[in-house]
Chain A
Amino acid sequence: MNETEIIKVEHLAKNFGSFQAVKDVSFTVNRGDVFGFLGPNGAGKSTTIRCMLSLIQANHGNIQLFGKDLHKHRNEILARVGSIIEKPDFYRYLSAEKNLEIFARISGKDVSKKEIAGMLDFVGLNGRNKDKVSGFSHGMKQRLGIAQTLLHQPDLIVLDEPTTGLDPQGIVEIRNLILRLKTEQNKTVILSSHQLSEIELISNRMVIINKGQSIIEGDVKELLNAQEMVVQLEVNDVEKSMKVIESSFPQALAKNINERIIEVQLEKQQVPSLNQHMVQAGIEVHAMEPKRKLEDFFMKIIQS
């Protein structure tokens, strides 16, 4: 492991009785990454993250954080990690401030009351310091969770489904917060999410896991660019368009969606000439929209 590698997971496996939740997961997170952790439900994402935080003991494999073995240096490592697993849960009968005081006290660093107030302000909960958490909305709890995560100035932030249950405004707020953590504080963030668009928007690297195995890992842009592109065309004559595509791009896969729209899968560099061929054939192209998004890539990987 070199100095830039913050997390190194190798051949992780975990069984719950006869059920194999994680079979073989390996990935590396580098310093400063916003690392996307993708996979369908039941793929083993949460189990892997829980193993990384010592909530679950793996049956097999190695986990190194900050270049140190997790089991041998657990407390030292966890003092440098902030996390939200699935959803942040707090002592409902205590105020936001008291909750943060409790977690700050065992965070491994001295956190003053002023810093706690500052953190509540940072996540937009100023004025609610003394309110009991029982009266907080899901979004407020999520923001309090972020405050709890950042309180002790961790080097690594692990967020497991941080936007679950949030309204669109809440999702944008969390997204912006993660981007601020990366740009302003150069934190390393590992982000597990079902919101694939979230990963595409804010992650620079990612791993996709399925059925307990890591399938692919790499730079988000490189992985997406390496794939063929799907373009959605809105045309005035679908039949004629299909013939043009068949004759001009025999390798491309064309699909008739409805009487005005077709989808074409082809090489990215062929897209400009596709438009050109259509226009030359006298077809009116009303819209041309690249459909290659992470969702398509994800589905392709999972289905393969």
Chain B
Amino acid sequence: MLLKNTYNEFVKILAKPRSYLGIGALTLLISVILFAMKADGKSFISFVTSSFEQTLSFNGNILNGNLIAFIILQMLIVHIPLLVSLVTGDLISGEAAMGTIRMLATKPISRTQIVLSKFIAGAVYTLILTIWLGFLALVVGKWLFGSGDLIVLNSDGLVILKEQDILWRYGCSFAVAYLALLTISTLSICLSAFAENSIGPIVTTMSIIILFTIIGSLDVSVFDSIKPFLFTTHMASWRSFFEDPVPWSTIWNSVLILLAHNVILISIALYKFNKKDITS
């Protein structure tokens, strides 16, 4: 029954216009970035590298597909949560708003299975969005800008990664970025279990992200103890794969915290939905 209802969830997601809105918006955003980089990318790069030109000389194709993918990931990882929650925040509350939750909940399928099928569908949608992001950023980026070594600027200075040493890093970083987006998906579905309208969980998800991001960026000691446990702190962990050497312990810590968030949020949603009186 879980598989059957998960299939139902895919049918519904595929039929909803808002599902394509996310993919369309992502395509548009990346197209704009690619166009801007194609048109004026060199001056953008020289602005970054100018401070190092007295000590380093840059040869070869710096503005390549690998760098473009990095820039795109950096720019969009903040905005994609909105696109994710636009679809996933509606998965339970949308049914309540439409009244179809009554029809679902009177069928011989347990409430746990109803919720889990929505989590699975949300996870698959998020995966599709992440793969599409990776395809546009990396594949289209490389097609338009060619390949080459990746120069990344981080807090320790410049990191230069050889071309043949990059692909696995992108694979891993997209996996961690997916886990971060999956946490957003899980959060919005969890909030969706508490709501009776579609917009509430979407707005609340974004508000939580903004709030946690602000707490994370505030240099105030009172928040120091909670910062490591906020999922927003770990949303940029994908960047760690572009450090040399890769800080594996930091990455594993982020993965564990994000996984813990997913487990806790799913448990809360299951508890709430199983106890919920469906009065809509």
Contacts and interface: CB of A to CB of B under 8 A. Distances in A.
B223 to A, nearest CB: 36
A105 B7 contact: yes
A75 B110 contact: yes
Given A55-B278, A57-B277, A90-B100, A108 B106 contact: no
A106 B15 contact: no
Given A89-B100, A93-B15, A98-B15, A106 B278 contact: no
B12 interface: yes
Contacts of B17: 93
Contact of B108 (A55, A76, A98): A76
Given A89-B98, A89-B100, A91-B98, A54 B106 contact: yes
Contacts of A16: 277, 279
B84 to A, nearest CB: 20
B24 interface: no
B15 A79 contact: no
A172 interface: no
Given A91-B15, A93-B16, A106-B104, A56 B277 contact: yes
A92 B103 CA distance: 14
Nearest to B99: A89
B249 to A, nearest CB: 45
B5 interface: yes
Nearest to A94: B15
B101 to A, nearest CB: 9
A108 B107 contact: yes
A106 B5 contact: yes
A55 B15 contact: no
Given A89-B100, A102-B8, A55 B277 contact: yes
B115 to A, nearest CB: 14
Interface in B57-114: 98-100, 102-110
Contact of A106 (B12, B107, B277): B107
Contacts of A89: 98-100, 102-103
A53 interface: yes
Contact of B102 (A55, A81, A94, A108): A55
Given A90-B100, A91-B98, A93-B17, A108 B108 contact: yes
B12 A50 contact: no
A148 B8 contact: no
Contacts of B4: 105-106
Contacts of B12: 91, 94, 102
Nearest to A88: B103
B104 to A, nearest CB: 7
* Band of interface residues on B: 20 to 34
A195 B8 CA distance: 36
User: Which of B8, B100, B103, B105 is packed against the most chain A CB atoms within 10 Å?
Assistant: B103
Interface in B1-23: 1, 4-5, 7-8, 11-12, 15-17
A92 B106 contact: no
A107 B5 CA distance: 10
A241 interface: no
Interface majority SS (helix, strand, loop, mixed), chain B: helix
B15 A103 contact: no
Contacts of A91: 12, 15, 98, 100
A55 B105 contact: yes
A50 B278 contact: yes
User: Which of B4, B99, B107, B110 is packed against the most chain A CB atoms within 10 Å?
Assistant: B107
A78 interface: yes
Given A102-B12, A106-B1, A85 B7 contact: no
A86 B15 CA distance: 26
Interface string A94-123: 100010011101111000000000000000
Nearest to A132: B15
A105 B106 contact: no
Nearest to B18: A93
Interface string A64-78: 000000000011111
A194 interface: no
A87 interface: yes
B107 A78 contact: yes
A64 B169 CA distance: 59
User: Which of B5, B11, B108, B109 is packed against the most chain A CB atoms within 10 Å?
Assistant: B108
Interface in A128-153: 148
A55 B111 CA distance: 10
User: Which of B15, B17, B106 is packed against the most chain A CB atoms within 10 Å?
Assistant: B106
Contact of A75 (B5, B8, B102, B109): B109
A103 B107 contact: yes
Interface in B98-140: 98-100, 102-110
Contacts of B104: 106
A53 B5 CA distance: 19
Nearest to B12: A91
Interface in A36-56: 50, 53-56
Given A78-B108, A98-B15, A105-B4, 4 more contacts: A55-B278, A89-B98, A91-B98, A102-B12
12 contacts: A54-B105, A57-B275, A57-B277, A75-B109, A78-B108, A89-B99, A90-B98, A92-B98, A94-B11, A105-B5, A106-B4, A148-B103
Name the 10 nearest CB pairs between A and B, nearest first: A89-B99, A79-B108, A75-B108, A108-B108, A55-B278, A78-B108, A56-B277, A106-B107, A53-B106, A105-B4
